[in-house]
C-alpha cells in the first residue's frame, strides 16, 4: 500500500490523500470519499482511512479529501450555495484522478452528509459508475412504525425488569459545556432523493446503501428501503447492508471493520 498527499482544484485549494496498492495489481477503479460532516479526510474515528487501506488489498485506488472549508482544504470564496460548491469540489476530485490514472470507473461515497453529497454530485456526472451511501436519508414507512413500537415496548419491559437502564438525560451539564448540537443536519427530502435515484438508475449506475443502528430513528429493517421507493424499479442496481447493532460513526474498531468488509465486497459488484 502507498499513500500520498495531493492538492487539486482551483489554486490547489483542496487537500486529500491517495491510497493505492503496491503489491496487488491495480484495478482500473477508484473510490472517492467525501467529508462526513465536519470530520476531516480520515473520516469519523478513522473510518475512511480504514476503508481506503483495506481496498488497496483489493487493488483499488482511493482518494479521500477535505471539502472546501474543512480540514486542510481552503474554502472557495464565491456566492454559490454550499451544495453547488460541494458538487464542484467532487468534480475537481474526479478530474484529478482521471487526469493521472487510467480508470474505467469511479465510485463516490461517504457517511451521512458525505453520502448525500456523493449522491447529489453523481446525479449529473456520467463519469460516476456508482455510489456508496452510509447512513444517508431515510423515510419512515408503515413497517418502520410497528417495528419501532415493538422496540420501544421491549425496552420498557427490560427497564421494568431492571435489565436496561436508560441514560439520565436530565443530568446537569458538564461545566463549560454548550447546549444543543454542534451540527443540526437536515436530510434530503424524498422528492429530491427519488429524482436523483431515478437519474442514476436510468443510466445504469449502481447504488449501495449501508444503514447502521444509528439510523434507527428513521430506518429499522432491511425491507424498508424498497418500501421507501416502492414506485422506483431498482432493476437489480440497488443493494443494501443493514447493521442494526452498530452505531452511526462506528466508534469500535471491530464495528468499522464490519462496515469496511461489507463495502469491499459490494465494490466488486458495483464496478463489475
Cβ partners under 8 Å of residue 194, min gap 6: 229, 231, 232
Q: Which pLDDT score is estimated for 172? A: 55
Residue 145 inside a domain? The answer is no
Residue 158 inside a domain? The answer is no
Residue 149 inside a domain? The answer is no
Which CATH number do you get for residue 252? 3.40.50.1820
Chunked mean pLDDT (size 10), the chain, 272 residues: 94 96 80 94 96 94 95 84 92 96 94 96 96 98 95 81 66 51 75 98 97 96 97 97 95 96 91 72
Residue 38 inside a domain? The answer is yes
Whole-model pTM?
0.90
Q: Which pLDDT score is estimated for 164? A: 67
Residue 151 inside a domain? The answer is no
Q: Which pLDDT score is estimated for 31? A: 97
Which residues form the domain of 116?
Answer: 2-139+190-270
Residue 93 inside a domain? The answer is yes
Residue 156 inside a domain? The answer is no
Cβ partners under 8 Å of residue 253, min gap 6: none
Residue 81 inside a domain? The answer is yes
Nearest to 92 by CA among 112, 80, 104, 108: 108
CA separation (Å) from 158 to 153, 165, 167? 9, 8, 14
Domain count, the chain: 1
d(CA 264, CA 123) in angstroms, rounded, equals 23
CA separation (Å) from 177 to 39, 168, 182? 20, 16, 11
d(CA 66, CA 33) in angstroms, rounded, equals 9
CA separation (Å) from 162 to 152, 238, 268? 15, 42, 46
Amino acid at each position: 500500500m502507498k499513500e500520498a498527499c495531493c492538492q487539486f482544484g482551483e489554486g490547489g485549494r483542496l487537500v486529500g490523500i491517495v491510497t493505492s496498492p503496491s503489491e496487488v495489481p491495480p484495478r482500473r477503479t477508484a473510490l472517492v470519499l467525501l467529508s462526513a460532516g465536519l470530520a476531516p479526510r480520515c473520516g469519523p474515528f478513522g473510518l475512511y482511512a480504514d476503508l481506503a487501506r483495506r481496498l488497496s488489498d483489493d487493488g483499488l485506488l482511493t482518494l479521500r479529501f477535505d471539502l472546501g472549508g474543512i480540514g486542510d482544504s481552503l474554502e472557495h470564496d464565491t456566492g454559490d450555495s454550499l451544495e453547488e460548491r460541494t458538487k464542484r469540489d467532487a468534480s475537481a476530485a474526479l478530474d484529478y484522478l482521471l487526469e493521472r490514472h487510467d480508470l474505467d470507473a469511479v465510485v463516490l461515497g461517504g457517511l451521512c452528509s458525505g453520502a448525500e453529497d456523493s449522491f447529489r454530485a453523481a446525479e449529473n456526472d456520467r463519469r460516476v459508475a456508482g455510489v456508496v451511501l452510509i447512513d444517508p436519508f431515510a423515510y419512515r414507512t408503515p413497517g418502520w412504525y410497528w417495528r419501532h413500537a415493538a422496540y420501544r415496548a421491549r425496552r420498557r419491559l427490560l427497564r421494568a425488569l431492571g435489565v436496561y437502564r436508560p441514560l439520565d438525560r436530565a443530568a446537569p451539564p458538564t461545566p463549560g459545556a454548550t447546549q444543543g448540537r454542534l451540527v443540526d443536519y437536515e436530510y434530503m427530502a424524498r422528492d429530491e432523493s427519488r429524482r436523483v435515484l431515478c437519474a442514476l438508475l436510468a443510466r445504469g449506475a449502481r447504488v449501495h446503501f449501508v444503514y447502521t443502528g444509528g439510523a434507527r430513528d428513521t430506518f429499522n429493517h432491511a425491507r424498508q428501503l424498497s418500501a421507501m421507493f416502492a414506485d422506483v424499479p431498482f432493476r437489480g442496481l440497488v443493494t443494501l447492508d443493514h447493521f442494526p447493532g452498530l452505531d452511526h460513526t462506528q466508534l469500535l474498531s471491530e464495528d468499522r471493520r464490519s462496515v469496511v468488509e461489507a463495502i469491499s465486497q459490494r465494490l466488486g459488484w458495483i464496478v463489475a
